[in-house]
Structure 1
Amino acid sequence: MNTLIFDLDGTLVDSLEDLAHTTNLVLEEYGFKTHELEKYRHFVGNGATKLIERALPDDHKDLVNEARARFDKLYALHCLDHTVPYPGMKKVIDDLKEAGYHLAVVTNKPKAHAVKIVKHLFPDTFEYVFGNTPYQPKKPDPTLVVLAMNLMDVSKHDVFYVGDSDVDIQTAINAKVKSIGCSWGFRGKAELLKAGANFVVDHPHEIKEIIDDRRK
């Protein structure tokens, strides 16, 4: 095992407050009711368009594309207001990098926002950062995970995909790689176990312990 591909939101970074705040700003501009922070745990995970669709009132779903465009502009300004790595994650990523592991990010977050966050919070660490664009399907489609593996020239047998939701576990299954679920993320341990995660961890240091053990 020499490669880890990570989800971003809810896995590497706690971004829920910034995602919720930005979406609520959009809703306020339309005069719609906003949502409490905890509700956003179940709004995120399938990309920005789905986030906006879930947040909009049922009788205003026709505004999804317009509201999504506004979200993108506002989120570019607010995506690093409160978003930080989960406790212990920065050290684990630095240790994995120093140990020679291949590292990449594959997320459903729009690519521009993903790259900005990763470069700021984990500078010079990940070989590739793939986010959502109009040209590739979103997870759980495995296209971007497979692309990352091909670019890093690694076998699927050498890869763990690390994420915090059932979407991430299904992505790993579709890519035919092993999965590590992060219980500290947006969805929790029960969802990860139900989805079929190979491992579920409660602290970032356990990620390195698992992969080091498999490498022996």
Structure 2
Amino acid sequence: MKYTTYLFDFDYTLVDSSRGIVFCFQTILKRYGYVAKEDDIKQTIGKTLEDSFRLLTEVTNQTLIAKYAREYHEIAAKHMTSLTCLYPETKQVLELLKKNGEKLGIISSKGKELIHEMMGQYFPDNFFDVILGIHDVKKSKPDAEGINKVLKALHANRTKTLYIGDSVIDAQTAQNAHIDFCGVLNGITSRKELEIYPHRKILNNLFLLPYLKKLE
């Protein structure tokens, strides 16, 4: 299969933002008297902030959850970019795909402004054909709304689109959108967990992504 559109998850797929995410969560949790282990926080990466705070605090009051999320955004705006780094192969792989004329997009549960800020350190303006963040959709992943919205904006062929991500949520998102999925093992989700879902390939990292056809 020759793909013409590559859509990426962000955290644990293109970048390692775990230090920043842990820092922001621990700051808010400590502020309100909660304690969460680093590994427990990392387990929530890929979920919405609201769902993550519910899991970490067991709070169900929506007003409180919304307050925690707002304060998280304030801290993230100041510290997230400096605590986030590209994976070593990310820039090379994306530049190769771009050179080959492929359309590139990011679909994330992170705010779009932060993604632009982070990626702007490494790529020129408009390098990505589309970046869609959590505030651009009514329903977050694994709902297919984000992917469907991007496919429409790019006039992309669903059968020639590949979604790349690190988590079960990403695999479910691709499945719900009826597009191919490629898993990467940059995060904490295991190969065994990803292989449960329909997939084109499960890669250790992004390095071999442009050569999927040759791997078969």
Fold equivalence (TM over 0.5): yes
Report the TM-score when normalising by structure 2: 0.90
Matched, 1:95 2:96: yes
Q: How does 1:74-93 map to 2 (within 5 A)?
A: 74-93=75-94
Please give the secondary structure, in 2, of the residue aligned with 1:108: coil
Q: Partner residue of 1:25?
A: 27
Distance 1:11 1:23 in 2: 20
Q: Partner residue of 1:154?
A: 156
Distance 1:114 1:10 in 2: 13
CA deviations over 1:17-37 (Å, ceiling 9, x no partner): 10011110011111222422x
Change (3 A) 1:136 1:142: same
Identity %: 24
Q: Partner residue of 1:51?
A: 52
1:198 to 195, 200, 206: 200
Q: Partner residue of 2:9?
A: 7
**AA in 2 matched with 1:32:** Y
Residue 172 of structure 1: how far off its partner (Å): 0.8
* 8 Å CA contact 2:137, 2:145 repeated in 1: no
| Unaligned ranges ≥5, structure 2 | none
Distance 2:51 2:60 in 1: 11
Residue 182 of structure 1: how far off its partner (Å): 0.4
Residue 47 of structure 1: how far off its partner (Å): 1.5
Please give the secondary structure, in 2, of the residue aligned with 1:167: helix
2:169 to 163, 167, 185: 167
Residue 161 of structure 1: how far off its partner (Å): 0.3
Distance 2:84 2:77 in 1: 12
Number of equivalences: 211
How large is the RMSD of aligned CA atoms in angstroms? Answer: 1.9
Change (3 A) 1:136 1:184: same
| Unaligned ranges ≥5, structure 1 | none
Report the TM-score when normalising by structure 1: 0.90
Structure 1 runs of 4+ with >4 Å offset: 211-214
Q: Partner residue of 2:132?
A: 130
Change (3 A) 1:5 1:212: farther
Please give the secondary structure, in 2, of the residue aligned with 1:109: coil
Distance 1:211 1:142 in 2: 26
Distance 1:32 1:26 in 2: 8
Change (3 A) 1:194 1:122: farther
Matched, 1:209 2:203: no
Change (3 A) 1:179 1:31: same
Change (3 A) 1:70 1:15: same
